[in-house]
Structure 1
């Protein structure tokens, strides 16, 4: 009887023109991505190319050896999540595929995280936003802001040594001439990072400033003229899918390997989702 490994090797060999050499993890995943092509094409927005999406996903996976060790259903689920949102993983910064040890299963799974540029891309799809951006403020910068009847924000970056980060702000200009801005100090950003399941892993470690910018934009989200559909898409952040057909789940990346009662695990996941939905200003 053929084993799962034999089947994976056969699939990879078929994708590589019938070469009988043992399939490497990268070739196995490439074969699965090729087979997923029609599903990726159906999931992608019309302006995106499925072949390009598959190539970018494979390049991202090959660049991180830990992703090659992850469970294939979870990895493909993360790729499908990116496709459904029309966000490209990898260096462009739209989204991240983060391998982690799943404390409930003991295996390596993959978490999908929207990046700063991905949040901006989703916001612009509303068609109501002229421009949206975020900047970090450092202690040597000239920075002041006021709220109230006449909101004001002034930021003049220092030249040379700027010191430590103190604030991050985001601004959205609307096509009707209006605007919205939000400011967070570094303490509030760290507090929100502390609530993230990926606070000690992935972009919070490697790209802190980008994640801080994303955090402020996400907080501003509820005040932006964005469709319900895009709001729903943006809620699907920091999730894991068991496979390409499963619903996204919020999983504790640091949980010990213990059996968690089903009702407790469900309540925990729903609590995480509710917190994210409140942050976005979206109610399911």
Structure 2
């Protein structure tokens, strides 16, 4: 009898058993957040499977883990690695919608006629141009693309009235965004680079699209995983062109105009030698 009690106690202490009980205790909270087409039993099974497949989540701060689960339920998406995933940053869990889930949510909203995103590999046909009738894109995947070569990533959407929006991005631009990710060397950016690249293009495209605030929030669920301030902004924007600085100085009131040296001024030169360069009109 004592052996049975001891085995039961050990089983109850297993982290997977503990988190399963905690998931069950939040059934009513999940049910209130979930849309009608997702049964709460299915959602609980998917959450538990996500933990079983990534047991690092067991060491996550438990409140952040269940906050991530609730955001998944509110978005009407499953944390199954297809709709989205619960990822770990430090000891905090974070809900991150994936490309498939984002596209499904936007299509189901009915606010756009179509939306998609693709990685253009070596051998694929791709052309993007703008003329007086708007944006245009031609894309045809190769039968056997060279997946070791990424030429471009793009997202495009068409509104119900037929207007096309396209957002092409180079690998260099994608990597600038990755550089400000707090998990740039592990997790989704390593395991699902293509997915993260397409999502980056979709996020940028979304700024130009007529969408509800709910969809806008969905695309930015993982903002906490990025350093969007300070050095992160500099990494994305890059250095300010000298022409922009010159125009800013010309537009500023006299008292506020900074006494900046010309970009090509050698270190140690007298400030007087740079006055002609500062006063020169911008090209």
Match of 2:89 among 84, 96, 100: 100
CA deviation profile, 1:203-229 (whole Å, cap 9, x unmatched): 111011111111111111122221123
Aligned: 1:181 with 2:169 = no
Aligned: 1:158 with 2:142 = yes
Q: Which runs of 5+ in 2 are unaligned?
A: 234-283
Partner of 1:22: 11
Q: Which runs of 5+ in 1 are unaligned?
A: 1-12, 14-18, 102-107, 239-249, 253-267, 276-284
Asked if the contact 2:156/2:164 (under 8 Å) is kept, the reply is yes
Partner of 2:75: 85
When normalised by structure 1's length, the TM-score is 0.71
Match of 2:99 among 116, 119, 132: 116
CA distance in 2, matches of 1:77, 1:133: 29
When normalised by structure 2's length, the TM-score is 0.71
Asked if the contact 2:124/2:142 (under 8 Å) is kept, the reply is yes
Partner of 2:109: 126
CA distance in 2, matches of 1:196, 1:61: 23
CA distance in 2, matches of 1:152, 1:161: 23
Aligned: 1:35 with 2:25 = yes
Q: Which structure dedicates a bigger proportion of its chain to helix?
A: 2
Asked if the contact 2:83/2:99 (under 8 Å) is kept, the reply is yes
Q: How many residues align?
A: 223
CA deviation profile, 1:132-179 (whole Å, cap 9, x unmatched): 211111233222111232422112223335250010111213333332
Match of 2:205 among 220, 240, 245: 220
Asked if the contact 1:122/1:234 (under 8 Å) is kept, the reply is no
CA distance in 2, matches of 1:213, 1:180: 15
Asked if the contact 2:136/2:164 (under 8 Å) is kept, the reply is no
3-state SS, counterpart of residue 186 of structure 2: coil
CA deviation profile, 1:101-140 (whole Å, cap 9, x unmatched): 2xxxxxx221222211122133224312232211111233
Asked if the contact 1:132/1:170 (under 8 Å) is kept, the reply is yes
CA deviation profile, 1:180-201 (whole Å, cap 9, x unmatched): 2211111111111112222222
Q: CA RMSD in A?
A: 2.5
Partner of 1:282: none
